[in-house]
Structure 1
Amino acid sequence: MSTTREFLFVAVISLAHFMTQAGLGQALAPLDIIGRTFKTQNMGQESWFVAGYSLTAGTFILVSGRLGDIIGHKRMFCFGFAWFGVWSAFAGFAAYTGQQVFFDICRAMQGVGPAIVMPNGLALFGRAYPPGIKKNIVFSIFGAVAPAGFVTGAVFGSLFAQLVWWPWAFWSFAITCWALTVLALLAIPRELSEKPVNPPGFDWSGSAVGVIGLLLVNIAWNNAPMYGWGSPTVYFLLIIGLLCLVGFVWIEKRAVSPILPISAMNGTVCFVLICVGVGWGAFGVWVFYTFRFLETVRHLSPLTVAAQYGPAPICGLLASGLTGFMLTHTPVSFTMFMSMCAFCLGIIIAAFQPMQQIYWAQMFVSIVIMPFGMDMSFPAASVLLSNHMPPEHQGLAQSLVSTVVNYSISISLGIAGTVEVNVAKPGPGVDMTDLNFLFKGYQSGYYTAVGLSAMGVICGALFFFRTFSKEGWKVMDH
């Protein structure tokens, strides 16, 4: 590739992660404004505006990554951006229906777009660059744009919601996705659009059972805060979902072309995925409750809150540079451990802030630290799995990372919501608009994130000391 072609190639692939996080922020920032359109202020129902998007973004990644391995990653990548645009437009049109369920469905279908573009974009990187410093750099760039994408989505979502009308955020987002579809067709080299010579088969039964199991378990966890675990609808969905996941493992062990080769799930892979899952799950809870806390307890507008996240993109770039250096000068397990420490420290600082306080005291510090957790964990996990998978399975390698990132955000919101409704219990004589009552609930959500991130620190430490005892201070070749 020429320098210009390579620049456009790296840019359009990295924008897949940028747009994925923007899709999360565009609904989170103006959550209450969107809720008023559908005549709901119920926290359990509003959380689906975010959880529904992350649910499908995490659930369908494994399937789309394998389809990319079969029919070509460039084809799937371009199709994913087109799909992303179509359902973003439908999400905006949902305002005319006034039906929250329709908007939730549109958000869920919108999440399928990231599920397609993320693993196939990373697979294109994996195919285009051999292991080495250049590959580490492009993976770091891919991770670095995440904070900027989230803040951009939150800013434009807030701008349109406060000054014009919130559906315009989704319609402009759709136009951008379609423009990126055209750019991807032009920028991605023809060599990367060729189908694999010996493509793997597709495990239809395993895919169906796995997707159903992941969907049901996630729906159960996110409906539990609204209906309670005593509701038959909730626990039956959970039981059926878990049985489907058990069936998925049984099918995959016997499948000729498994969607997820169980043999590939060795100790190293499991440690990495557990760290990524609890770390990003904690991040999802942190970002959700931070917006709720600042908008509800401190009475800040969505646009003001989005502006307070302004340091995140800058810190993301710094974290990306640090990650690129660490991946070539320290063991990847050490990079993962440090990312878990960053997640935990940033969340602890936010969790123990008082109701009213100057922004610079704790919230600013928390927002500065959190991008280091994001932009160190994602590239580390991506590089590790990419280097351990053959070229024909690059889609599967990146699917694992992206699946865990997005799915853990969704299910962690359900866990935190369950904790919140049991700590801050509504009842007779309880004023649910009282700030002390709301603050108590939000703190319980923060404490859930602290617990998840602390688990990540423990797993990261075990992973580092395990690999250090076996390999010593081993640094990747570059």
Structure 2
Amino acid sequence: MEHIEKLRISLRPFMLYVVSMAQFLDIVNGASVSVAIIPISKDLHFSVAMLPWILNAYTITFAGLLLFSGRMGDLFGHRRILMFGLFWFASWSLVVSFSKSPIMFIIARALQGVGAACTVPTAMALIAINYPPGPERTKAFSVFAAFGGLGAVVGTLMAGGLIGSIGWAWIFRVSSITAYILLVLAFFVIPSTLKKTGAERPRIDFMGSIASVLAVTGIVYYIIMGTEDGWASAKTLPVLFAGLICLGVFIYVESKVEQPIMPFRVWKSSLFTASVVIAFVLMAMMQGIIFYVNMIFQEVYGWSAIKTAVGFLVHALLAIVVFATLGRTIPRLSLKPLILAGFVFRCASALMFAFVTENTSYWRLPFPALIIHVFGLGFTMLPVQITAVRDAANKDQGLVGAIFNTGLQLGAPFGIAILNVISISTKGQGEGPSVAAELMKGYKNALFGVVAFGVFGFILTAIVLPWDKPVRPAKPATPETKDPEGMQESVVTEEMEFEQEAKLPL
């Protein structure tokens, strides 16, 4: 194994791009499947009631297992969990592509989400561990975020092209092939993240793990299905109660066990706690804008799926440029003003879309609104991601990444659920001059709801986040400044052995 470790050292500069591809793959999967819902439902004969499960089966397992998989990476090695996730994701993506019935498709999609849950938080942890706080970590996360922006456009365009040529099944086959390639690359470019000592093997908090999975899954299920079956429906309300009970059990168990899956020490950082809440709001806003802009393009303008994808092209391509540029400029800036400005930009973008009509030119409002939204996205998501991991010890980076992503995953369905209620309850009754105009009444009010989210996020950021100084390179720890509680001691210290042997890309 020694020669393999030497090979990993020499190839380690490529690690950032491999772990960023995990983010890319997840975004591609989400964007492409959203476009493919109609052809999938027709080919597999989905009923109207089962249609939401094309997306929801994946989302629920993905969100439910983020916390567990992130902590497993901290305990047993991030590379190991990442590679398992890639293998699992690739295998079940292949099964999805050969599905012959709705039940087979839904089960395979749910299991595919398990694999994705193992890749995203461990990818974040590997970046946070291998890049010290300061400009290096900021630039690394900007690359990570840029791959996400690229994934959005690639997923949408790829889905449109494949559906129109060789079929929707190839969306999942391409994802499978890509994941298998990443699995091989991860083996060769990511160093081992386990200590080579005789220390006691970490124990898994099984009770806490089960309770956390059931709690998050139940809450996400309720948020997603509440708009379909009713918030007080017998199909949803018991699931919410069960999820809340499991959440209570989880909190109790974590306060008692010696090695909890979620040590409460991570919440001692007010910066981290605020970042998770702000991330929740940001994702609710982002999903709201993307969803209703998509509805405006297709239902108000009457565009096809592929034309809608082209309409979003400027958004995705500019996102890559914005995130890459911010990665080099953020180290010289204070983060709080950026986040506040980002909320203003995103609110302005939502307001511009709210005043679109079926006769409004794309170039007059949607095009500039998309550009403004990209800058708002960059000014908020990247700084919040940086603040979330800034104070965390290396041994908690997987957990921190998992909690942060759980906040994002909870924010997305919550935002859509609330905004859908606003849209449905305020849309026209079909008595106006056109169906598009009547639909736009509901979309307009939903976009006002996005603005309300933004105002809340702006106020929260202004009150809670500190007026920090620009991000600077981290100084080496000294005995006098070492954390007395051992918070900076890491169970993944082997990464540090390679720091001077290979310079990572920026």
TM range (shorter): 0.7 to 0.9
1: CA distance, partners of 2:79 / 2:174:
24
| Residue aligning to 1:77 | 82
Query: Counterparts of 1:347 and 1:271 in 2: how far apart (Å)?
Result: 24
Correspondence for 1:276 among 275, 279, 291: 279
| Partner amino acid, structure 1, of 2:95 | F
1:248 corresponds to which of 247, 250, 266: 250
- 1:46: Cα distance to partner? 4.2
Q: Provide closer, same or farther for how the CA distance between residues 138 and 120 of structure 1 changes in structure 2, counting only shifts above 3 A.
A: same
Q: Which residue number in structure 1 is paired with residue 305 of structure 2?
A: 302
1:66, 1:395 within 8 Å by CA — same for their partners in 2? yes
- More helix by proportion, 1 or 2? 1
**Preserved contact between residue 222 and residue 417 of structure 1 (Cα < 8 Å):** no
Q: Which amino acid aligns with 2:452?
A: G
**Equivalent residue, structure 1, for 2:22:** 16
What is aligned with 2:145?
A: 143
| Structure 2 SS opposite 1:265 | helix
**1:23 CA drift (Å):** 1.0
Structure 2 residue 459 is the aligned partner of structure 1 residue 458: yes
Asked whether the equivalents of residues 428 and 441 of structure 2 are also in contact (C-alpha less than 8 Å), the reply is: no
For 1:48 and 1:412, the matched residues in 2 are separated by 18
Q: Identify which range, 353-362 or 166-175, moves more after superposition.
A: 353-362
Q: CA–CA distance in 2 between the matches of 1:261 and 1:343?
A: 34
Q: Is the 8 A contact 2:150 2:320 kept in 1?
A: no
Q: How many residues align?
A: 464
List gaps (5 residues or longer) in structure 2: 1-6, 474-506
Match of 2:167 in 1: 165
Q: Could you report, residue by residue, the CA deviation over 1:345-388 in whole angstroms, capped at 9, with x for unpaired residues? A: 33232233113322122222232233334444443233333331
Question: How do 1:104-253 residues align onto structure 2 when only pairs under 5 Å count?
Answer: 104-189=106-191, 191-192=192-193, 200-253=202-255
Instruction: Answer yes or no: is the 8 Å Cα contact 2:67–2:212 preserved in 1.
Output: no
2:331 pairs with 1:333 = no
Change (3 A) 1:410 1:125: same
Deviates more, 1:26-35 or 1:438-447: 438-447
Query: Counterparts of 1:285-364 in structure 2 under 5 Å?
Result: 285-364=288-367
In 1, Cα distance between equivalents of 2:349 and 2:61: 27
TM-score (norm 1): 0.88
| C-alpha spacing 1:443/1:380, structure 2 compared with 1 (3 Å) | same
Counterparts in 2 of 1:201 and 1:126: CA distance versus 1, 3 Å: farther
Residues 1:27 and 2:30 aligned together = no
Aligned partner of 2:414 among 386, 411, 416: 411
Per-residue CA deviation, residues 54-83 of structure 1 (Å, 9 max, x unaligned), is 333222111111111111111111111111
CA RMSD of aligned residues (A): 2.8
Residues in 2 aligned to 1:122 and 1:402: alpha-carbon distance in whole angstroms:
10
TM-score when scaled to structure 2?
0.83
**C-alpha deviations, 1:162-205, integer Å up to 9, x for none?**
2331111111111111111111112213x446578666543221
Higher mean displacement: 353-362 or 144-153 = 353-362
The residue type equivalent to 1:303 in the other structure is: I
Aligned pair in 2 of structure 1 residues 311, 68: CA closer, same or farther (>3 Å)? Answer: same
Shift of 1:247: 2.6
* Greater mean alpha carbon deviation, residues 367-376 or residues 54-63: 367-376
Identity within the alignment, %: 23
1:474 aligns with 2:479: no
CA distance in 2, matches of 1:376, 1:161: 35
Contact 1:349 1:363 in 2 (8 A): yes
Residue 381 (structure 1) aligned to one of 369, 380, 384: 384
Deviation per CA, 1:184-227, whole angstroms, max 9, x where unpaired? 112213x4465786665432212211211111122122222222
Q: Compute the displacement of 1:6 (Å).
A: 4.1
- State the 1:47 CA deviation: 4.3
